[in-house]
Amino acid sequence: MTKRVAILISGGGSNMVRLAESMTGDHPARPCLVVSNDAGAGGLARAAAMGIATAVVDHRPFGKDRAAFEAALTDALEAQAPDILCLAGFMRVLTDGFVTRWQGRMLNIHPSLLPKYRGLHTHTRALEAGDAEAGCTVHEVTAELDGGPILGQARVPVLSGDTPETLAARVLEQEHRLYPMVLRRFAAGERGRVDL
């Protein structure tokens, strides 16, 4: 049966667009919802232009009450009955309760070669460490931040003269290749790791 995929974003949504575009033809999944915690996220208009249902659950009125924010987020998600959640630049840390609810059904893309550089500022940290290569990782989301089972990685060289911005752009190109590839396999029930 065709799987329903909800994509969670906070920003421009370039990964979301690539995921949504990939789900055509014999792909085992289709996008059912794009949801953002920020009404200003550029990706919302891009999703709407692609004919995908959108929703906004602003985290700010909930203050520090993450569980209440996630309850509202869960309501918005459940309204579309997704089988799979894809975090695609969704910049909120999730509680154990939310993660447990979706565990085994939730993917994330992270702009580093995990387990290196969990959290933020990954490209700056890779440059400061003098790394010869950088990349991105798609992993299952577990309660450990950026720590779930790795489903795929793509590598790029770090070039002399790179700035965090030039490196981020090189990595983002690979994110756009890797995430659709991993989602397709995941939706088909394959859990083997992809390396690009």
User: What is the set of active-site residues?
Assistant: 110
Indicate the SS3 state at residue 48.
Answer: helix
Q: Supply the minimum distance, in Å, between the C-beta of residue 120 and ligand GAR.
A: 7
Question: CB 36: neighbour CB atoms within 10 A?
Answer: 26
- Contact status: 111 vs ligand GAR (CB under 6 A): yes
Distance of alpha carbon 113 from alpha carbon 90, whole angstroms = 18
Residue 149 lies near ligand GAR (rule: CB under 6 A): no
Distance CA 104, CA 29 (A): 16
- Of residues 12, 61, 97, 157, which one binds ligand GAR by CB under 6 A? 12
Tell me, residue by residue from 67 to 106, as one string, x for binding to ligand GAR by CB under 6 A and - for no binding: ---------------------xx-----------------
For residue 152, state whether it binds ligand GAR (rule: CB under 6 A).
Answer: no
The sign one gets for the Cα dihedral 65, 66, 67, 71 is positive
Could you give the angle at the alpha carbon of 60 between the alpha carbons of 57 and 65, nearest 5°? Answer: 95
Q: What whole-number distance in Å separates Cα of residue 161 and Cα of residue 164?
A: 10
Question: Which of 80, 75, 43 is CA-nearest to residue 57?
Answer: 75
Candidates 7, 8, 14, 94; binder of ligand GAR (CB under 6 A) is: 14
Is the Cβ of residue 1 or residue 120 nearer to ligand GAR in the bound state?
120
Residue whose CB is less far from ligand GAR, 12 or 149: 12
Minimum gap (Å) between residue 109 Cβ and ligand GAR: 5
- Rank residues 5 and 16 by Cβ distance to ligand GAR and give the closer one: 16
Q: Report the distance separating Cα 27 and Cα 86, nearest Å.
A: 16
Phi, psi of 195 (to 5 degrees): -125, 120
Residue numbers at the binding site for ligand GAR (CB under 6 A) = 9, 11-16, 43, 88-89, 109-111, 136, 172, 175
